[in-house]
Amino acid sequence: MKTIDLPLDEKSIIDLRAGDWVLLNGIIYVARDSAHKKIVEALAKEEKLPFELKGATVYYMGPSPTRLNAVIGSAGPTTSGRMDKYAPELLRRGLKGMIGKGFRSMEVKKAIIEYRAVYFAALGGCGALIAERIKECEVIAFPELGPEAICKICVKNFPAVVVNDIYGGDAYENGIKKYTR
């Protein structure tokens, strides 16, 4: 298992390969469909973004209400494919990491290679355990979106697996090939 400090840069992802398990430490931004749409619209208008894209990692998280005396509620991943129409532009603008669950489109996989980024999977069904790795959570943009507002989270030893790497590796496809008869 590799430990990675965020934000990501070329040095931190060059040795990552599809299938590698990692522990992420640092700042991650939570953003889903509606927030992605607003970010891409802001980029088109050359408006200031709520966070620096260069080196950033975005988590496609399906949040739940925060329990009493907790930083956050259950924090499991949501389906990444819903962000595929926005991801290539964000990668082009400097985004280096994405975390979610499920397959990515061919367009996103090509952008991951071209812009030298990485797609991680968080374990679906483990939202309560993942929440324990989140040490701080703050809404930083679009509070009107409720659970789809952009949050800044600080994580310690956030577990994930590399699905798509800068070399075109795909852990999901590798798994299918390995177990297909």
Distance CA 146, CA 35 (A): 10
| pLDDT value at 57 more than 80 | yes
- Residue 73: CATH number of its domain: 3.20.130.10
Kindly state the average pLDDT of the residues 94-120.
Answer: 98
Distance CA 62, CA 172 (A): 21
| pLDDT value at 126 more than 90 | no
Active site residue 36: yes
CA angle centred on 88, ends 131 and 83, rounded to 5°: 45
Residues 90, 36 contacting (CB under 8 angstroms): yes
Looking at residue 49, its pLDDT comes to 95
Which of 32, 36, 101, 109 is catalytic? The answer is: 36
Q: Which residue has the tokens 């507002």?
A: 149
Structural domain including 142 reads: 2-179
Q: How does pLDDT run across 24-50, given as a tens digit for each residue?
A: 999 999 999 999 999 999 999 999 999
Q: Which residue has the tokens 């996989």?
A: 109
Total domain count, the chain: 1
